[in-house]
Amino acid sequence: MGISIAIDGPAGAGKSTIAKQAASEIGFIYVDTGAMYRAIGLYFLRKDCWEEEEIIKECHSNHISVTIKYKGQIQQVLLNGENVSELIRTEEVGKITSFVSKIGAVRELLLELQRGLAKEHNVIMDGRDIGTTVLPNAQVKIYLTASSKERAKRRYKELKEKGIACNLEKIEKDIIARDEQDINREISPLRQASDAILIDTSFMGKDEVVEKVISLYIEYTR
Ligand code: DC
């Protein structure tokens, strides 16, 4: 069993940026569980399937295989052998993913893969339910959050930099809606584990947050 650092929190709190940098500094692998859910979202988007019963049937049919590999330290996600790492980053995929990730059969499909990685490697794993469900015995648990306004501002800046037209108010509205879906679902809702440390990044710089994560890890090793 490796050492596990679990980072949970709402969309746009900076989990992946922070986890990636911290993982590289302490020599852990970074596991992005959202990307795994997005791969399944893409599978159902391609089928234009939003029917819960149909989704459950597909999950039980062995038609869907999600695996990951690493290109250097960057996680690549494969859907039935196809590298979909770029294709999963659209709003459309995000939307259907938020829907399919509520379904127990979808979550079961990924649980083993996620736990297996933590068994074999030292990991920083980010998601929504890592500290509560996937790795309840993680040595370090962090709940990373920021106000919806701040998260919207960051997303707006990111899109603008990519030259994508967007509206700040609409982004914040979407973020709040996504939070509600993730928090209010029945299975594995987004929740701070009772033993997780809360880090509110609203007024913190990236390096400061990475430093805080690493210091929590160092504290554990002492
Ligand atoms: O972190 P992200 O935006 O890439 O996640 C995409 C969706 O996947 C999000 O709506 C919540 C879901 N998700 C989840 O239910 N459990 C996880 N451990 C990670 C992501």
pLDDT digits (tens, 9 = 90+) for 24-52: 999 999 999 999 999 999 999 999 999 99
Q: What pLDDT, on a 0 to 100 scale, did the predictor assign at position 72?
A: 86
The ligand 1 atom nearest the CA atom of 94:
6
- What residue owns the CA closest to ligand 1's atom 2? 34
Q: What pLDDT, on a 0 to 100 scale, did the predictor assign at position 178?
A: 87
Q: Is 181 helix (H, G, I), strand (E, B) or coil?
A: helix
The ligand 1 atom nearest the CA atom of 35:
4
Sheet holding 82-83, edge to edge: 66-71, 74-79, 82-83
pTM, two decimals, is 0.94
Quick count: other Cβ atoms within 10 Å of Cβ 198? 10
Ligand 1 pocket: which of 36, 37, 185 to mutate (most atoms within 8 A of CB): 37
Q: pLDDT by residue (tens digit) across 167-206?
A: 999 999 999 998 998 899 999 999 999 999 999 999 999 9
